Amino acid sequence: MPTRGDRHLLAMQHAKQLAALGARLKTIHVMTGMPPRQVQSLFFPDAHTIPRGRAPDSAEWYHGANLILRTDACLIGAKFHQLRSHGLTAVEALILAYRTYQSVTQPPYRISLDRAFNLISYIDGIWLASAPTLTVLTCPGCGCEFIAAVGTIIHPGEPCPFCKLLERFHVDHRIQASYPRRPVIDMTARQLGMLALFHKLSPGAEGDNPAE
Ligand SMILES: [Zn+2]
């Protein structure tokens, strides 16, 4: 059984990792239970480095976002879903899913840690959400996992965000620039696609070093 001390150390460790990923004080507070003032004094000694501005709110954002943003969100959502099914806690799964997302795109990252936190809340029905309103489904066309509203019925032949991305990849320079690891998204490697990339990264493979 973990002691109170173990749990406290783990919360500190998570808070440090979240702060390094750009999370807001409130996000860190909700995810770790650590008081925002304590988080600030420990990890943001310079007040100017505290992330400011309006925190992402509703999960409706996903449905209105452009294809690249939705694909980014799906990368995080799918990885989170996979890690949760492997038994990781929601906090661990979000940190690792977000790092995985960063490893396949380039800064500045289009999805902030706070946005990922918001999305995950609505997928798991935790933190900001009292019940799940988003879910992770598997596309019958390309095999990739994508985020959809709870209750969504997949119709055969209906493209998911990854199907659309793959279709447009060769003609859309913005998409090509957005996903520099091009071989991953290639029509010839459709079945390997994003899914393979994200599934081959097992928990810990990202260098999720607890000593960080
Ligand atoms: Zn698809």
41 CA distance to ligand 1 middle (Å): 45
- At 160-188, the pLDDT tens digits run 999 998 888 888 888 878 876 544 444 43
> Which comes out higher in pLDDT, residue 91 or 184?
91
Distant-in-sequence, close-in-space partners of 112: CB < 8 Å, separation ≥ 6: 22, 56
Residue 211 lies in a domain: no
Answer for the pair 55, 116: CB distance below 8 angstroms, yes or no. no
- Region 84-99 average pLDDT: 96
Query: Does 196 map to a domain?
Result: yes
Quote the mean pLDDT of the chain: 85
Nearest to 63 by CA among 174, 161, 175: 161
In angstroms, what is the span from residue 163 Cα to ligand 1's centroid?
A: 4
Distance 112 CA to ligand 1 centre (A): 24
The one-character DSSP state at 37 is: H
106 located within any domain: yes
User: Which pLDDT score is estimated for 164?
Assistant: 92
**Looking at the domain assignment, is residue 207 inside a domain?**
no
Work out the angle at residue 43's Cα, subtended by the Cα atoms of residues 2 and 95, and round it to the nearest 5 degrees: 60
pLDDT for 17 equals 97
Question: 184 and 98: one domain?
Answer: yes
Q: What is the pTM of this model?
A: 0.84
Range of the domain at 27: 1-44
Residue 21: CB atoms within 10 A of its CB come to 20
Domain count for the chain: 2
CA of 140 to the centre of ligand 1 (A): 7
Alpha carbon distance 117, 58 (integer Å): 11
Q: What is the pLDDT of residue 181?
A: 58
Three-state DSSP class for residue 135: strand
Instruction: Compute the distance from residue 118 Cα to the ligand 1 centre, in Å.
Output: 24
Locate 209 and state its tokens: 């070093």
Joined tokens for residue 121:
């809340």
Tokens read off for 40: 């600030």
Please give the distance, rounded to the nearest whole angstrom, from the Cα atom of residue 94 to the centre of ligand 1. 23
Say whether both 33 and 78 belong to one domain.
no
Name the more confident of 139 and 204.
Answer: 139
Q: What are the pLDDT digits (tens) for 130-141?
A: 999 999 999 998
Are 98 and 27 part of one and the same domain?
no
pLDDT band for position 210 (cuts 50, 70, 90): very low
Distance 93 CA to ligand 1 centre (A): 23
Residue 193, number of CB atoms within 10 A of its CB: 21
- Distance CA(65)–CA(161), nearest Å, equals 11
Residue 81, C-beta contacts closer than 8 angstroms, at least 6 positions apart: 123, 136, 145
How far is ligand 1, taken at its centre, from the CA of residue 111, in Å? 21
Other beta carbons within 10 angstroms of residue 70's beta carbon come to: 22
Question: Which pair of structure tokens corresponds to residue 116?
Answer: 């990922």
For residue 108, whether the previous peptide bond is cis, meaning omega lies within 30 degrees of 0, is yes
How crowded is residue 195: how many other Cβ atoms within 10 Å of its Cβ?
Answer: 19
Of the ranges 27-36, 56-65, 155-164, the best mean pLDDT one: 27-36
Q: Which residue has the tokens 């091009």?
A: 182
Higher-pLDDT residue of 201 and 152 is 152
Residues 64 and 30 placed together within one structural domain of the fold: no
Q: Give the per-residue pLDDT at 194.
A: 55
Q: What is the pLDDT, as a whole number, of residue 143?
A: 87
pLDDT classification of 156: cutoffs 50, 70, 90: confident
CA 155–ligand 1 middle distance (angstroms): 11
Distance 168 CA to ligand 1 centre (A): 13
Same domain, 9 and 74: no
Number of residues in the chain:
212
pLDDT band at 106 (very low <50, low <70, confident <90, very high): confident
**β strands within 92-186, DSSP E:** 134-138, 145-149
Q: Are residues 169 and 68 in the same domain?
A: yes
Distance, CA 107 to ligand 1 centroid (Å)?
26
Tell me if 135 is assigned to some domain: yes
Distance 54 CA to ligand 1 centre (A): 33
Residue 81: is its pLDDT beyond 60? Answer: yes
